[in-house]
Structure 1
Amino acid sequence: MESAAPGTEGHQGPHTGPHVGSHVGSHVGSHVDEVDRIVTDWRRERPDLDLEPLEVFSRVTRLARHLDLARRTAFTMHALDGWEFDVLAALRRAGEPYEMSPGALVTATLVTSGTMTNRIDRLEGRGLVERHRSPDDRRGVVVRLTGAGRARVDAAFTDLLAHEARMLQDLDASSRPELATLLRALSAQFDDPPAS
């Protein structure tokens, strides 16, 4: 899927402004983005194709790259890597006493058990998590968020939400729930397991 990611548009050709094509002028507020220009060019070159998927997913890709930058910025401010935040956030969301088994963390963060063991070791070395004997299985362990880990993930999450709020600031507040609903409907097909 062709996307118009920041800094990678590489758009060439004579049609580079908002005057291209009648389709572009129909957008809300007459705002034209790089995806509009790409779609207009493809519509001229390949009028036989339905370009609606390109209009949706090129923008999703572009926004995802901006979001990735916002995540890295927020986490760097708190000396966290993305994977560290993911593990700490899974523990934080679990609620008191903020602990999970390594297996549950594997499921929550979609990594292998070997990768998770390494990540727990590194977080434990930084004083952000602790291992404890499982109360339900004397041979098992649970991973628990420390006070320092909770403070770190809470601060990083607060800053991440501030970055994300700024990304939404040009979208009318009344439109945001509708956008969330549409995105939920689109993503559900990938989140739900196939019926057996």
Structure 2
Amino acid sequence: MTRPIRALVVQDVSGSMRLDAGGRSRAQLLRDASIYGLAAFPKNTALGYWEFSIDRGGPGVPYREVAPIAPIMDKTGGVLNRDVLGKAIDSSLKNLRGGTGLYDTALAAFKKVYDTYDPAYSNSVILMTDGRNEVAHSITLNQLVSELNIMKNPARRIPIITIGISDDADADALKRISEATGGSSFIAHDPKDIGDILLKAVSFRVQDA
């Protein structure tokens, strides 16, 4: 109950994030919510950041590591990692393209946290998307859930907390992904609610930790 939070934040940077959400794009709203959310994490938190769309990490690889998981109050090049993450998120959400590679990304993110699991922390994945899987040759949702169930280990509890942005997000798929790992799923039906939803997800991690 006293373990600090260690989370890999995974954000959708597909082209649909440009869509208008009441005068501002989904990406702009997510950017503001994410920067605000960074400040809500306790100082002993460790965070990493991935972006995903299609081929974001190269041909056939929908995800790309932008910042490895590290304590947010440590410094990289003399700059707090919390500020490094803020700049990385801002840059990512200005470079939007392609479709959504959801399933392969979710599995890879879970495996990354599993392989680097730190028992001194409460480990998790926080995944945000406004769409559904659009990679024709990816694993299926059933295969993803099956893989997550196979890898699930009581000694390495790693919930995936999913956040759907707008009603375009595949709520059923996100719920199944979260449930397979003991996590929770949240949907911001109005993109303007992203900030409140993100804080609920952060609160879920704080309470769980």
**What's the TM-score once normalised by structure 1's chain length?**
0.21
Select the structure of larger CA radius of gyration. 1
Structure with more of its chain in strand, by fraction: 2
**What's the TM-score once normalised by structure 2's chain length?**
0.20
